[in-house]
Amino acid sequence: MVNLVIDGQSVEAEEGWTILEAARYYGIDIPTLCYEEGLSSYSACRLCTVEIIRDGRSKLSASCSFPVQEGIEVRTNSRRVREARKIIIELMLASCPNSRTLQCLASRYGVTKMRFRAEDRGCLLCGLCIRMCKEQMQAGAIGFVSRGTDRKVIMPFHMRSEQCRECGACLYICPVCELPCQGPMQPGELCNACLDTVQLEAFPCKD
Ligand code: SF4
Ligand code: SF4
Ligand code: FES
């Protein structure tokens, strides 16, 4: 077993667990977007960022891929983490401003302004659809192509793949392909309508 501290609580974790797995085991909430139980970690979105303190030095890391280590201290909700999380949500919103999942995350984590110019790219490059297709559906019908700003997922709808069974799992898991946020915002703006509701523990508009 590995001994570590998460948010001031001394915990034991199995060797090989990630910080995210250990935190969830003890009921500590860390938001995620590109992580899904049952799929491999890809660490694309960084939403699960936590602060890790080791030998008196602190750094921010993605908890979904960082393995638990003996003696480290993890802070999941420090000021540094909260600020990083807000910027990450803002950056993702700039790429996909109409994503309902992102709009809900913005409301939940206090993002009330967008400092980056929004340009709807229709994809967060989170890789969820590709991993779902390959690892759960055993199809491997879609994948990334190109690099940098040209990087994109080749979808079966753009290029018909023989391997595609039209199961729809890639669309189901995509945080952008869902119905857009139905809040009262103009395209490219923050909705924040969820801030008017009382219960924000669970995503109010993710039904
Ligand atoms: S619909 Fe096609 S591309 Fe999408 S997960 Fe299913 S097999 Fe893969
Ligand atoms: S299409 Fe959706 S699931 Fe696939 S990488 Fe883009 S945002 Fe992620
Ligand atoms: S959930 Fe960990 S990097 Fe996306």
The two beta strands, 57-62 and 49-54, are antiparallel
Domain membership flag for residue 202: no
86 token code pair: 């807000």
- In the predicted model, is pLDDT for residue 10 greater than 60? yes
Q: 63 and 6 in one domain?
A: yes
Ligand index nearest the alpha carbon of residue 155? 1
Q: How many CB atoms lie within 10 A of CB 174?
A: 20
Q: Are 69 and 54 in contact (CB under 8 A)?
A: yes
Domain membership flag for residue 86: yes
pLDDT tens figures, 86-132: 999 999 999 998 888 999 999 999 998 888 888 888 899 999 999 99
Ligand 1 mutation target, pool 155, 170, 172, most atoms within 8 A of CB: 170
The two beta strands, 2-6 and 73-75, are parallel
In angstroms, the first-to-last Cα distance of the chain is: 38
**pLDDT value, residue 69:** 97
Q: 186 and 98 in one domain?
A: yes
Domain membership flag for residue 203: no
Query: ∠ at Cα 63 (130, 172), nearest 5°?
Result: 30
**Looking at per-residue confidence, does 63 or 119 come out higher?**
63
Q: 88 and 39 in one domain?
A: no
**pLDDT value, residue 181:** 54
Q: Are 99 and 107 in contact (CB under 8 A)?
A: no
Q: How far is CA 56 from the centre of its chain?
A: 28
Q: 110 and 192 in one domain?
A: yes
The DSSP letter of residue 16 is T
pLDDT tens figures, 68-79: 999 999 999 999
Ligand 2 mutation target, pool 120, 177, 178, most atoms within 8 A of CB: 177
**pLDDT value, residue 125:** 93
Q: Are 75 and 84 in contact (CB under 8 A)?
A: no
pLDDT tens figures, 193-205: 554 443 434 434 4
Q: 183 and 102 in one domain?
A: yes
- Domain of 166? 128-173
Q: 53 and 9 in one domain?
A: yes
Domain membership flag for residue 37: yes
**pLDDT value, residue 64:** 97
Q: 167 and 97 in one domain?
A: no
Q: 113 and 26 in one domain?
A: no
Distance 162 CA to ligand 3 centre (A): 30
The pTM of this model reads 0.85
| Alpha-carbon gap, residue 200 to 132, rounded angstroms | 28
| Alpha-carbon gap, residue 101 to 179, rounded angstroms | 10
